[in-house]
Structure 1
């Protein structure tokens, strides 16, 4: 099978999970290839996501690695059979590949949780807010690039998975544009918080015992816990984290953030008061 010209984050993740199964079995790449009766280079390419793998081969690999987690194997086999191109592929020549990875992650997640300390969560931003954010990008985007970025972000918001957004008060008060846009944004958050699938909670400035979180983060829940993913949005770009130790760390971060946040009703009242003060 020919190597892929483009490897998506999801294809790469499938390969990573197959490598994890091999390593848990205590096999090196050479040992694994020998057990499977294939060239070591072929196994390496499979684990890197450079070549596709069938559901049957995934199950064979899991069997050879003595993996008894049937739920995980079923999910990996299903990932191997995915052939439909996601809507985000339409933007491959227009937006950085990292943006596509995020859209793909959000699309497949069974649930999304985010904490934002300086920005309104992307999936809750109004069109005016999105436009103001991208208009301030350095270097400056062309008008065409700006429109593409706006359309892409708004398209990302067309999700049905449960979404929990924990927002620090600072993010609510920072104005990407003017007072009108800021007020409209807060009203939009209130409207979205009324949706059954959306939960909004606020961390106010005056909460005690909250040391904060350095970078914005998104926790995407997979069909099994091993396939959860953390997206860290840093000044140097987004990073997808999937190692067990990393997932456990951010599960604890999530717990601490939620402990500091106001309840749902209190949070809605808090945003209402901000709107009234504008």
Structure 2
């Protein structure tokens, strides 16, 4: 296969997982090449995502590495079978690459768990709410940059309306509901949209009220993307300096525990919806 000019985060993840399998088996890249009937350089290129790899070769590599986790093997083979360019590629060279990685990760997730303390999660924002947030970036964005980001954010939301959408659970602090980004009218419209989204069968919104005596504080938004197998799950950290994808097993465990705890202290879906109605009336 030809050498890629650019590799997506998902392609890099596939190569990384193949390298993990090889290293866990104690197979050198030179021996891996011999077993596959190719060169050490080709194995390195596959693992670094400089070239693609076919599903059959993924299965052969897993067999050579004595991997018996069939679910993992097939999940990796499915990743290798992806050849189409995602819609987010339209924004390459227009938006930061981290935003493209975010859209790609969301698109392939089978479930999403997110938490935000100050802003509404991106997949639940109205365009006016998103625009108000982007206008406050420092350093300031140019008007056309703001609009590109708004369009990208709204297009990301399409995954929630697919025929077989992922399950989506958001834990939002009451502070985020009371922030009036864009002014009272925009805030009321955002709350109405949030209430409507909470009534969809695949979406659960839980609110941590000000009355909560404790909860795990996160200095940034956290998006946890479920995968067909646990080994391929991913976390996206939404920090002021930019997004970051995390997939190390200890980090995933830590974020799962944090999300579990936040869900425990949050109000249930009905009580959360009642609180959103109350805040909307007072806005």
Q: TM-score, normalised by structure 2?
A: 0.94
**Gaps (5+ residues) in structure 2?**
160-164
Equivalent-residue separation in structure 2 for 1:253 and 1:164 (angstroms): 14
Superposition CA RMSD, Å? 1.4
Aligned to 2:222: 217
Q: Secondary structure at the match of 2:197?
A: helix
- How do 1:103-142 residues align onto structure 2 when only pairs under 5 Å count? 103-142=103-142
How far did residue 98 of structure 1 move?
0.7
Equivalent-residue separation in structure 1 for 2:244 and 2:37 (angstroms): 35
Equivalent-residue separation in structure 2 for 1:4 and 1:173 (angstroms): 46
Residue 260 of structure 2 corresponds to residue 267 of structure 1: no
Aligned to 1:190: 195
Deviant stretches of 4+, over 4 Å: none
**Structure 1 counterpart of 2:166, from 131, 146, 161:** 161
Aligned to 1:180: 185
CA contact (8 A) 2:216 2:261 kept: no
Residue 38 of structure 2 corresponds to residue 38 of structure 1: yes
The range that moved more, 64-73 or 143-152, is 143-152
How far did residue 37 of structure 1 move?
4.5
**Structure 1 counterpart of 2:176, from 171, 178, 192:** 171
Aligned length: 278
**Structure 2 counterpart of 1:254, from 246, 259, 263:** 259
Equivalent-residue separation in structure 1 for 2:220 and 2:147 (angstroms): 27
- How do 1:86-101 residues align onto structure 2 when only pairs under 5 Å count? 86-101=86-101
Q: TM-score, normalised by structure 1?
A: 0.95
Equivalent-residue separation in structure 1 for 2:36 and 2:251 (angstroms): 30
CA contact (8 A) 2:15 2:47 kept: yes
Aligned to 2:5: 5
Aligned to 2:162: none
CA contact (8 A) 2:216 2:258 kept: no
Residue 72 of structure 2 corresponds to residue 67 of structure 1: no
